[in-house]
Amino acid sequence: MKLSAEQRAFAARLGHEFARPELLVQALTHGSVAGPGRLDNQRLEFLGDRVLGLAMAEAVMAADPGAAEGALAPRFNLLVRKETCADVAQSVGLGAVLRLGRSEMLSGGRKKTALLGDAMEAVIAAVYLDAGFEAARALVLRLWGPRIASARSAERDPKMALQEHVQARGEAPPAYVEIARDGPDHAPRFTVEVRLADGRREAATAATKRAAEQAAARALLARLEAEHG
């Protein structure tokens, strides 16, 4: 199988020459266009998620040899979450070469966080299957490099911080409820409310459900810290 000019250019941006180009084609094929004899990228995304996890676990440990697990975990979570994968995908122009069905294209699929994040993980798996873990790790380090370096100073995950705050006081973990969703399919806005067992709650709106949850958790955490001093 030969790659198109756009796919070859994308592979060059990745810095990997595929011995089995069909793997890259599969990684870039969304389920909306898969059919008889044409594989989509879902299975590769499953594998790529695990390859990324191992490569990133090694990377965050190497970046801070003296850090405890409690410090490494939030950095790792920040670096492997779907939003970060999508951001990396955008940095290499992955959206432009995604193979999408008509409905996905019309709904802005080339810019959707979930599609971009999944495809980026599938690309990592394609490199892994094509050339092994060392090549996949090199790709991850190359594309995530600046993010790995800055993760140490990144803000602590507010959802984790809120859960630790309430559990330290013997309270039940917070619950997150989506209370509204508006906007077009290609640019939705989510409103999420975080609730505690005692009735205290805060809501926030963002472009992704995760971001809305984090913003709501941050607001409620600030309120609790102000109350408790």
Number of domains in the chain: 2
Domain boundary among 100, 135, 151: 151
126 and 189 fall within a common domain: no
120 and 218 fall within a common domain: no
Average pLDDT of the segment spanning 215-224: 89
Residue 154 has pLDDT above 70, yes or no: no
Domain boundary among 125, 151, 177: 151
49 is catalytic: yes
144 and 190 fall within a common domain: no
Give the structural domain span for 218.
158-228
Average pLDDT of the segment spanning 201-216: 92
138 and 175 fall within a common domain: no
Over residues 165-181, the pLDDT tens digits come to: 888 888 899 999 999 99
Average pLDDT of the segment spanning 30-55: 88
Longest Cα–Cα distance of the chain, Å, equals 64
Over residues 89-131, the pLDDT tens digits come to: 999 999 999 998 888 888 888 888 889 999 999 999 999 999 9
DSSP assignment of the chain, as one string?
A: -PPPHHHHHHHHHHT---SSHHHHHHHTB-TTT-BTTB--SHHHHHHHHHHHHHHHHHHHHHH-TT--HHHHHHHHHHHHSHHHHHHHHHHTTHHHH-B--HHHHHTTGGG-HHHHHHHHHHHHHHHHHHH-HHHHHHHHHHHHHHHHHHHTTSPPPHHHHHHHHHHTTTPPPPEEEEEEEES-TTS-EEEEEEE-TTS-EEEEEESSHHHHHHHHHHHHHHHHHHHH-
46 and 126 fall within a common domain: yes
178 and 140 fall within a common domain: no
49 and 79 fall within a common domain: yes
Domain boundary among 151, 179, 208: 151
50 and 137 fall within a common domain: yes
Instruction: Please give the structure tokens belonging to residue 35.
Output: 């059919």
Give me the CATH number covering residue 68: 1.10.1520.10
125 and 191 fall within a common domain: no
15 and 80 fall within a common domain: yes
109 and 188 fall within a common domain: no
Active-site residue among 40, 45, 49, 202?
49
145 and 175 fall within a common domain: no
Active-site residue among 40, 45, 104, 121?
121
Residue burial 185-220, b: 16+ Cβ < 10 Å; e: rest? eeeeebbbbbbbeeeebbbbbbebebbbbbbbbbbb
**Residue 156: which residues within 8 A CB-CB, separation 6 or more?**
74
Query: 35: pLDDT confidence band, cut at 50, 70 and 90?
Result: low
Query: 229: pLDDT confidence band, cut at 50, 70 and 90?
Result: low
